[in-house]
């Protein structure tokens, strides 16, 4: 978990490889569907472009499907999900049905000024339609309102592993590795 620009995607790819698990990024799945102009992509696109979350029922159904695939059976890393309290509840149900559990929730912390700066830099090369300054700022607000409360939920469950996300990707990756249970 972490706000937009915290480096979730970069760290998630490395961490999934390290645990030999499926890397499940809801943002990536939505973008693939937008690129292929599937029905899901057409639904998701207008929310993404506005920096809003895609409705929970759409996202939850997509994740339920993805987690049921073979490559996610032994281990998986969720990147960008859950982001709402409704998604937390649904994820609990999905995992119960699959007979699976979460081992931990890694949250990257980065100060807001740095986040905006990183996203504006990324905007120059990403081609992402949601990397414009207004939308970037709106995505930060949505994160604070909708997603930040989830940190307390996972902290109460004893699952939260908070990691300083400032510094180079390698430095942050090393911090994550050191913070994980052996």
Contact status, residue 33 vs residue 44, Cβ threshold 8 Å: yes
Q: Are 108 and 2 in contact (CB under 8 A)?
A: yes
What residue has token string 């472009």? 49
Nearer to ligand ADP by C-beta: 44 or 173?
44
Q: Rounded CA gap, 156 and 144, in Å?
A: 19
Q: Which of 1, 34, 48, 62 binds ligand ADP (CB under 6 A)?
A: 48
118 CB-near residues (< 8 Å, 6+ apart): 5, 7, 110
By CB under 6 A, the count of residues binding ligand ADP is 18
d(CA 90, CA 82): 9
**With binding defined as CB under 6 A, does residue 7 bind ligand ADP?**
no
When asked if residue 45 is in the footprint of ligand ADP (CB under 6 A), the reply is no
Interface with ligand ADP, residue 80, by CB under 6 A: yes
Residues 155-174 that bind ligand ADP (CB under 6 A): none
For ligand ADP, which stretch binds (CB under 6 A), given 78-86, 110-118, 148-156, 170-178? 78-86
Q: Are 86 and 56 in contact (CB under 8 A)?
A: yes
Catalytic residues: 8, 83, 122, 128, 139
Q: Given the rule CB under 6 A, which residues bind ligand ADP?
A: 4, 8, 26-27, 30, 47-48, 51-54, 59, 80-81, 83, 87, 130, 139
């Amino acid at each position: 978990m972490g706000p937009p620009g915290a480096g979730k995607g970069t760290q998630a790819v490395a961490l999934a490889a390290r645990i030999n698990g499926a890397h499940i990024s809801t943002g990536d799945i939505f973008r693939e569907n937008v690129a292929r102009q599937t029905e899901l992509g057409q639904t998701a696109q207008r929310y993404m472009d506005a920096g809003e979350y895609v409705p929970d029922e759409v996202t939850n159904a997509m994740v339920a499907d993805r987690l049921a695939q073979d490559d996610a059976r032994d281990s998986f890393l969720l990147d960008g999900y859950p982001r709402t309290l409704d998604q937390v509840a649904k994820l609990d149900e999905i995992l119960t049905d699959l007979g699976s559990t979460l081992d931990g929730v890694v949250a990257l912390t980065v100060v807001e000024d740095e986040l905006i700066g990183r996203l504006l830099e990324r905007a120059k090369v990403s081609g992402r339609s949601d990397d414009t300054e207004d939308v970037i700022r709106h995505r930060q607000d949505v994160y604070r309102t909708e997603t930040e409360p989830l940190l307390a939920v996972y902290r109460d469950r004893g699952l939260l592993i908070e990691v300083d996300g400032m510094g180079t990707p390698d430095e942050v990756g090393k911090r994550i590795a050191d913070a994980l249970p052996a």
